[in-house]
């Protein structure tokens, strides 16, 4: 293929459209569905802005020789092409760092343990440090900073192309390492905090989409090492540009996928693929769950103690399936002279019982009923805590 102009242009059009839609859906979920925005959303928006700018410049470059044989490009177009190239390199370094920081900022939602947070903070610090150092070295590689965008100026003193290539090799190598760590951490959390079943496997498969992002980084490194970009630059650089654009945008999609889980649960619930609809946020359970828990204590349906196990519409409520009814009989003998009068006998809802006659003598047996919200069948406090950790990790994902 002697002309990659159309391929480069169409690829970036598609990437911009897909990334924009995914980010808008993410913001809708975080801001309006669960109302729990975070620092990871800020990094995601910043990453999207830099990626869209980078792809837009890629499209603009196709009108000035990118993807064509260099001998077929005019001198005026070549001047524009080389003047934009440093900006694209800076945007690539910034966007890759912001995408990874967005994933790092999401990871504490999976696990609140101090040890895990230390690992996440250390990884985030390394990513920020490598991104900042590489960005600054590239930005100030020329003795006179504006010469970065006009290296052909007479008297311009900048890094040699070979040393600049070493900088890009180093940045890409660190990026591959960071991608592997960011892929391993969520899977490790899910494996350690959740039971190993089909549901946890499906969640892990969502994160394994990040494997493709890591592969694109490896392929890009192989391309820039194998091909000399100083020769026939307009044509050769387009090969690396394909993988550069894919690496950034796919990384953004991977960063957004976990935030879309509440929407996916809602869609599956509407389609009848699940019988429960529940999600969590910083404010606790969803509004639907709170409404179910706060419903009247005395509703129609079979009662256990004093709390109904059905909704007002007569349908079994899944929230009540997590309520354990613990009966604690408190049998106390009552003297005949101290029996309560008829008027003092009240039903559980506070109304005076008028159609029941209290016994004149004997023993009254009372039963206290305690309602506890907890995972089904976890009576042991330690097991209950572990189950709660697994539930929080699952609901977050």
Given this model, what pLDDT does residue 11 score?
95
Given this model, what pLDDT does residue 355 score?
46
User: Where are the chain's structural domains?
Assistant: 5-269, 293-396
Alpha helices (H) in 140-274, listed in sequence order = 161-193, 198-207, 210-226, 233-256, 261-270
What is d(CA 267, CA 172) in angstroms, rounded to the nearest whole number?
Answer: 38
Given this model, what pLDDT does residue 152 score?
81
pLDDT along the chain (397 residues), means of 10: 85 96 94 90 96 96 92 91 94 95 89 89 96 95 91 86 88 91 80 60 61 83 85 88 91 87 78 61 46 39 40 40 36 46 48 47 50 45 54 50
Question: Whose CA is closest to 169, among 222, 132, 131, 213?
Answer: 222
Positive or negative, the Cα torsion across 174, 101, 194, 23? negative
Given this model, what pLDDT does residue 260 score?
84
Run of H or E including 244: helix 233-256
Question: Whose CA is closest to 312, among 323, 298, 299?
Answer: 299
- Name the CATH topology of 5-269: Rhopdopsin 7-helix transmembrane proteins (1.20.1070)
Given this model, what pLDDT does residue 61 score?
94
């Amino acid at each position: 293929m002697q002309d990659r102009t159309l391929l480069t242009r169409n690829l970036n059009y598609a990437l911009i459209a897909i990334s924009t839609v995914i980010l808008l859906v993410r913001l809708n979920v975080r801001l309006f569905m669960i109302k729990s925005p975070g620092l990871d959303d800020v990094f995601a928006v910043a990453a999207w802005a830099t990626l869209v700018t980078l792809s837009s410049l890629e499209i603009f470059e196709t009108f000035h020789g990118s993807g064509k044989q260099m001998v077929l490009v005019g001198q005026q177009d070549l001047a524009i092409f080389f003047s934009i190239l440093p900006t694209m390199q800076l945007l690539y370094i910034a966007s890759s760092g912001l995408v990874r920081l967005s994933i790092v900022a999401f990871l504490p939602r999976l696990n609140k343990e101090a040890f895990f947070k230390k690992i996440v903070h250390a990884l985030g610090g390394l990513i920020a440090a490598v991104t900042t150092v590489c960005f600054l070295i590239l930005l100030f590689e020329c003795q006179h900073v504006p010469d970065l965008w006009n290296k052909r100026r007479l008297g311009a003193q900048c890094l040699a192309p070979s040393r600049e290539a070493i900088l890009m090799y180093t940045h890409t190598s660190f990026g591959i390492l960071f991608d592997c760590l960011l892929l391993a951490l969520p899977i490790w959390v899910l494996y350690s905090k959740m039971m190993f079943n089909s549901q946890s496997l499906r969640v892990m498969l969502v994160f394994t989409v990040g494997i493709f992002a890591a592969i694109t980084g490896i392929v890009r490194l192989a391309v820039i090492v194998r091909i000399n970009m100083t020769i026939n630059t307009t044509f050769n650089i387009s090969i690396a540009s394909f993988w550069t654009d894919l690496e950034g945008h796919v990384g953004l999609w991977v960063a957004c996928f976990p935030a879309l889980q509440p929407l996916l649960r809602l869609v599956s619930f509407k389609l009848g693929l699940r019988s429960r609809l529940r999600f969590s946020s910083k404010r606790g359970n969803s509004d639907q769950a709170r409404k179910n828990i706060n419903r009247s204590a005395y509703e129609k349906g079979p009662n256990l103690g004093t709390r109904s196990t059905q909704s007002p519409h007569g349908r079994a409520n899944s929230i009540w399936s997590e309520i354990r009814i613990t009966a604690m009989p408190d049998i106390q003998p009552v003297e005949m002279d101290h029996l309560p009068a008829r008027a003092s006998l009240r039903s559980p809802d506070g109304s005076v019982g008028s159609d029941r006659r209290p016994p004149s003598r004997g023993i009254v047996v009372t039963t206290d009923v305690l309602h506890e919200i907890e995972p089904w069948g976890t009576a042991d406090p330690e097991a209950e805590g572990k189950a709660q950790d697994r539930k929080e990790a699952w609901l977050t994902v």
